[in-house]
Structure 1
Amino acid sequence: MLFNLFGWIWKRVRKWNLLSLLLTAFSWFGLGIWYGLGYCPCTHWHWLVRRELGYTNMPSSYIKFLIQELTAMNISAVAVDWLTGVSFGLALILSVALNIRDYKQNRRR
């Protein structure tokens, strides 16, 4: 998640960041058609492991889960979803823009 949000900062990994963001978008919106908007196979696997370990009453959002676990704050699911979506959108816009800029600069050389 941190790489998705901030990987665009470093030129050396920008292409990988864009790929990671596009794969995330495919998971959320492509696989989300069948499994529900925002579906992530990694989260699904984590929930299965936690269920086997006896954990119940898990939130539907992994980000909400992390916020609760790390800070003990109970932020509404709607607020977490908005924060996640806006953060993802900004990271995607920045990654696309910087990758295009890098491509154009490399073409001029």
Structure 2
Amino acid sequence: MLIFLDYFLLIFHLALTAFNALGWAFERTRLAHLILILLTLASWTVLSPFYGWGYCPFTDWHWQVKRALGESPLPGSFIKYCLDGCTSWDSDPTVVTYATAAVGVVALVMSIAVNVLAWQNSRKAQRAETA
């Protein structure tokens, strides 16, 4: 069961990360992306006094599974874990943290921008229909 959970959390977390970075770009997923990126950034910041900067519950759960499987040491960041695993590097955790935060902030700004534009276009279309 732990091996299944390990793979499930890896795939789920990779998909979630990709969606957080790019979900704003697709019209059908824009509102869901806005909600998810806000939740993600809230987890990183609002929960930071309790768990540390950049806290992600999925990373926490995944690392619990990995520790139960005997894997250690584990980095503080899922992104660092994946980057190091794919490249065989030992990336700088500070650089990875800042890069991850930058991608998150850019994704939030893009999400807000495309959602506001879609809302404005929707209002214009409604006004044109009633005129």
Dislocated runs of 4+, deviation >6 Å: none
RMSD: 0.8
Q: Which structure: larger Rg?
A: 2
Which residue matches 1:86?
102
Cα deviation per residue 1:18-61 (whole Å; 9 max; x = unaligned)?
A: 11100101111112221111111100000000000001111111
* Distance in 2 of aligned mates of 1:33 and 1:98: 31
Q: 1:1-109, aligned counterparts within 5 Å?
A: 1-109=17-125
Flag structure 1 segments of 5+ consecutive residues without an equivalent: none
* Distance in 2 of aligned mates of 1:80 and 1:9: 23
Letter in 1 for 2:55: Y
The alignment covers a number of residue pairs equal to 109
Q: Structure 1 length as normaliser, TM-score?
A: 0.96
Q: Structure 2 length as normaliser, TM-score?
A: 0.81
Flag structure 2 segments of 5+ consecutive residues without an equivalent: 1-16, 126-131
* Distance in 2 of aligned mates of 1:4 and 1:87: 9
Identical counterparts, % of pairs = 37
